[in-house]
Amino acid sequence: MRKIILFSLSVLLFASCNKKQLAQLNKEKTDLQALLDKSKTDCDALTAKLNNDISDLKNQIKLKDGDVTNERAKLKALEDELAYLKRTNTNLLDRLSDLSIVSKDGAESIKKSLDALNRQSSYIQDLNSNLRRKDSLNLALVMNLKRSLENVNDQDVNVEVKKGVVYISLSDKMLFKYGSYDITTQAETVLGKIAKVVNDRKDFDILVEGHTDNMPYNSASALEDNWDLSAKRATSVVRTLQKKYGVAPERMTAGGRGEYVPKVTNSDASSRSTNRRTEIVILPKLDQFFQLFEAGK
């Protein structure tokens, strides 16, 4: 009888231990499943971000491919002109070698022509070099701006290269309240990020252009019309860049374009919203630009 009782107790004790171990294993299984679910969620989020980054890079590459095609066409035209000049140069040299058929004055004239052609050839080569350097600087500037503004809504800020210079287009709804030219707090943060980039690029000037839609301006303020409003908004941006973020005022120009340079037709509310914007154009310094052409004379 005693043996039976001991055996029963042993069985009960073993069963109790197995239940505890089973409960512990179930808990560990639950914890591992939760960890696995979290890892999967994090992995999905990271994958989505990487896909977005890849899509942005593809768009940038596509944009640059178009610019490269245009610049290559320009370069090909310049190279053709240079080849023509070299052929002309060779013909003149051939004529100069036979001075028996050329008078002294004629030989001197040919020498002057050769000197002029050599200067022009050197100018074209320098111009090609400067065009390639400008494109490299623009690309680096665009990439820095996109990195700095990556947390800003893409609908509010657009950075692109047009006509060989960098454009930053800022939406009206982010910068100002309706009919106002006072900078919003959100816009000050964005302008601060832009200022940090342009302050590191002191070989560029900044043109700020205000744009409106074609709806008549209606406010109790002293402003006369959309043109007046766009000029005031451009001036507000320039003052904020100068006073709050230390951008040198001599580098900046403020201008109002009113309703006269729309991006799209003002056919509906969405189109008018697109046209209400402020554009910051980052330009090479004009004195350096004109010096480049003076060098070719």
Higher pLDDT, 107 or 84: 84
Q: Which residue has the tokens 């657009």?
A: 158
**Which sign does the torsion angle of CA 49, 55, 60, 64 carry?**
positive
Segment 131-135 long-range contacts (CB within 8 Å, at least 24 positions apart): 131/71, 131/74, 131/75, 132/71, 134/164, 134/284, 135/67, 135/68, 135/71
Q: What is the pLDDT of residue 75?
A: 77
What is the DSSP code string of 94-139?
HHHH-GGGS-HHHHHHHHHHHHHHHHHHHHHHHHHHHHHHHHHHHH
Q: Considering just the CA atoms, what is the radius of gyration of the chain in Å? A: 34
The stretch 100-122 carries a mean pLDDT of: 66
* Rounded-to-integer distance, Cα 110 and Cα 131, Å: 31
DSSP assignment letter at 164: T
Q: What is the pLDDT of residue 288?
A: 57
* Rounded-to-integer distance, Cα 88 and Cα 101, Å: 19
Q: What is the pLDDT of residue 296?
A: 46
**Which sign does the torsion angle of CA 72, 74, 80, 85 carry?**
negative
pLDDT over 70 (residue 155):
yes
In this structure, the number of other CB atoms found within 10 A of the CB of residue 238 comes to: 21
Average pLDDT, the chain: 79
The stretch 140-165 carries a mean pLDDT of: 81
> 178-232: per-residue pLDDT in tens?
888 999 998 999 999 999 999 988 888 999 999 999 998 776 567 889 999 999 9
Q: Which two three-digit tokens encode residue 255?
A: 């201008």
Q: What is the pLDDT of residue 199?
A: 92
The stretch 237-241 carries a mean pLDDT of: 97
Higher pLDDT, 81 or 240: 240
* Rounded-to-integer distance, Cα 178 and Cα 172, Å: 8
The answer to whether 214 and 272 have CB atoms below 8 angstroms apart is yes
Q: How sure is the predictor about 24, in pLDDT bands with cuts at 50, 70 and 90? A: confident
